[in-house]
Amino acid sequence: MPRECYRTRDGRWVALSGATAATGRRILRAVGRDDLADAPWFDEITGRIAHRDEIDEAIAGWVADRDNDDVLATFEAAGATVGPVYSIADIAADPHFDERGSITTVEHPALGPLRMQGLIAKLTRTPGRIRTTGPLLGEHNDEILRDLLGCPPDELARLVSESVVGPTGTRREVPSPEAAPDAPSVGTS
């Protein structure tokens, strides 16, 4: 204690941990709160827990007034366990994630090359791979509606014609998002 994620002035996040009284004390001194670091209750975890809101507010206020890089450098210099909380954009741009194969590119039948999460486990004898981005909308309608649920072909054709279900069949070309007139905007930010 303290142990929390804090938002920095530039809208980023840091994860901070002060698992011992000594580390917590260094953190509080780094944020200019010697009064809390020197409080008689601080040596015991029960005291830190009882005052956790006060400790948390002191750190959160200090962090909120500084940019991410400054916060990280200050807490690293104080010997605290601290690290940035990555956004998806941070992960995609980090060469370490790329080198480990944490982000991979898979061909999507409508969207082309699609960057997505790779395999987490890296097994030597059975390495695994990602073969597809997943089924397209309606790709398994025939199999499920007709074969598993017993929907007659004429009923299935009626459901498709009335747009109750989408087109059925095997993998097919689907319209790009730009082709849909009122499609919600989807993208990375």
Rounded Cα gap, residues 58 and 179, in angstroms: 51
Rounded Cα gap, residues 36 and 2, in angstroms: 12
Rounded Cα gap, residues 83 and 4, in angstroms: 11
At 188, is the pLDDT very low, low, confident or very high (cuts 50, 70, 90)? Answer: very low
Cβ 155 vs Cβ 90: under 8 Å: no
Cβ 15 vs Cβ 82: under 8 Å: yes
Domain ranges within the chain, ordered by starting residue:
3-85, 87-133, 141-175
Tokens read off for 97:
């994630």
Q: Give the model's pLDDT for residue 57.
A: 97
For 2-43, what is each residue's pLDDT tens digit?
999 999 999 999 999 998 999 999 999 999 999 999 999 999
Q: Return the bridge partners of 62, or none.
A: none
For 136-180, what is each residue's pLDDT tens digit?
878 888 889 999 999 998 998 898 889 888 776 555 444 444 444
Q: Give the model's pLDDT for residue 179.
A: 46
Cβ 18 vs Cβ 27: under 8 Å: yes
CA dist list (Å): 182 to 69, 162, 178, 185: 41, 19, 9, 9
Angle at 96 between CA 95 and CA 97, to 5 degrees: 90
Q: Which CATH number fits domain 3-85: 3.30.1540.10, 3.40.190.10, 3.40.50.1440, 3.60.20.10?
A: 3.30.1540.10
Closest by CA position to 101, among listed 80, 124, 120, 87: 120
